[in-house]
Amino acid sequence: MSKIIRIFCWGWLISFLGSLPLGTLNVAAMQIGIEESIRQALYFSLGSTLVEMIYVRVSLIGIDWLRKQAKLMKMMEWVTFGIVVALAVGSFIAAMHGGNNARNPILNNNMNRFLLGVIGCAVNPVVIVFWFGWSTVLFTKKILLPINSQYNSYIVGIGLGAFAGNCVFIFGGNFLYSKIANAQQYLHWVIGAVFALTALIQLYKIIRHKDGVAKLHYAEEKDA
């Protein structure tokens, strides 16, 4: 197996597995797929995947610059926290209204779903920290080398892996919805609970300085 294909596979595998735990973006994609259509959910996922690929590229060539943007990343974390809280509240409201036609009022807007995915991922600094950590491991193990051809293969693998992971939620959510009576109301409660738990974890990390900013500073001190 050539090194280009090998690093592609590493990028795909890490990205796919990293997309499977319940999170803001994959759950939002699932909710859009259930409430609107699979096509709109795929547009949302394409938007978030594009930004993730851009963030990885930036982290590979400009990590020193990123480490100096503590205030920006802290602001992004609070914005992300606010969005997750709003999504949780919106899901609970939709669940309380009952019926299969109830929709999360936060997602009930006319914004292009591709653009919504772009914005949703752009304000999520967790993506930067996640890929900074994994890229560092791959560099250390000599699996990833500072060569443009490897960077490009790595990023394409990441994009396809993230998109595949989101598709598991999109198509899986629609399958469950089609099999369970009053599924959408139940899913609203479950999705709201996921968003609420995510928000609490995010708030804890920010308050306890265990967030992305702290991790980047720790990595900087370790390198020094």
- At 38, the pLDDT band (50, 70, 90 cuts) reads very high
Contact, 154 vs 8, CB < 8 A? yes
Residue 12 pLDDT > 90 = yes
Q: What are the tens digits of pLDDT across the range 70-97?
A: 666 677 677 777 777 877 787 787 777 7
Q: What domain range includes position 90? A: 3-223
Q: What are the tens digits of pLDDT across the range 103-155?
A: 665 666 788 999 999 988 888 777 877 887 788 788 888 888 888 899 999 99
pLDDT reported for residue 95: 74
pLDDT reported for residue 170: 94
Alpha helices in 123-182 (DSSP H): 126-140, 148-179
Give the span between the Cα atoms of 197 and 190, in whole angstroms.
Answer: 11
Residue 178 pLDDT > 60 = yes
Which is higher by pLDDT, 41 or 98? 41
The domain total for the chain is 1
Residue 185 pLDDT > 80 = no
Which is higher by pLDDT, 68 or 166? 166
Give the span between the Cα atoms of 78 and 74, in whole angstroms.
Answer: 6
Q: Which of 18, 13, 36, 17 is nearest to 173 (CA)?
A: 36
The mean predicted confidence, pLDDT, of the chain is 79
Taking every pair of Cα atoms in the chain, the longest distance, rounded to a whole number of angstroms, is 58
Question: Virtual CA dihedral for 70, 71, 73, 76, nearest 10 degrees?
Answer: 170
What is the pTM assigned to this prediction? 0.75
Q: 16 Cβ partners below 8 Å, 6+ apart?
A: 161, 162, 164, 165
- At 218, the pLDDT band (50, 70, 90 cuts) reads very low
